[in-house]
Structure 1
Amino acid sequence: MAVKRVLLVCTGNTCRSPMAEALLAAKETGIEVKSAGTQALAASPATPHARIVVREHGATLDEHHAERLTGSLLEWADHVWAMTQAQALQMEQQYPEHKNKIMTLATAGGAHEDITDPVGGDLDEYRRTAEQIKQMLERIE
């Protein structure tokens, strides 16, 4: 799969999709990457645990500010990878013109599982989610 521009999508754009964005960008693959949330509150920072876990992987979320999913972000992307099947279906229904580029991160990585939402969990829960994201990203290349 030729990947040039990837949009990673979760619900709030403060945990999963920003972690996936930072981890993918840190791989320096030449892929342009952005993230957004279906229900994001604009300008919200990444959660403290997400920032810590991403830093442990050599990346940063210190400058991250949540962004709500828009049609123009979907237009920009070659591939749109949602963290859950429900999010992918919601985007396909809301933006049917982009259906052909929307799938879950797990599906892109050849698996069939939702990325676990660590929101409200402890640091270890965030670490498990980051590992799950990393495994999917490694399968894509």
Structure 2
Amino acid sequence: MARFVLTRRSPLPPAECWARLTAWPRHGDRVPFTRVSVARGTGRRPGDVVLARTALGPLRFDDPMELVEVAEPAHCQLVKRGRVVRGGAELRVRAAGSGSEVVWAEELRIAGLPRLLDPAVGFVGRLVFGRVLDHLLATAAGPAPG
């Protein structure tokens, strides 16, 4: 399983960082060929499901993620329950100075890929999810919806 941790500092207050992190459809803005939506619930409570749907020509797969733990506005844990992508993610926000620190920890397992490729999966994951996190926390973007 590929594992990586992303940490970002933001001048935004923790509640605003949290609102941006949990604006789930915005996650798809920076993931190529992927749309993200809330498939069950509000996307804010345990048992809710966030769905990332990736499509590139005939290659299509879903990445359903169930929220298993939520402590607003500081922490959530998601478990990936798809056939192609397994693992999970943990998002944390805490006050740091006059702003916030955000930590995104991810574990990814791609069905059919040998474990030998885990370092490559981790490298790509850090790039892709780093873009997502930077996009979500960008202060020029204005308040996050939702």
TM-score normalised according to structure 2 size:
0.29
Question: Of the two structures, which has the highest relative contact order with CA contacts closer than 8 Å and spacing of 6 or more?
Answer: 2
Choose between structure 1 and 2: higher strand proportion.
2
Choose between structure 1 and 2: higher helix proportion.
1
Larger Rg: 2
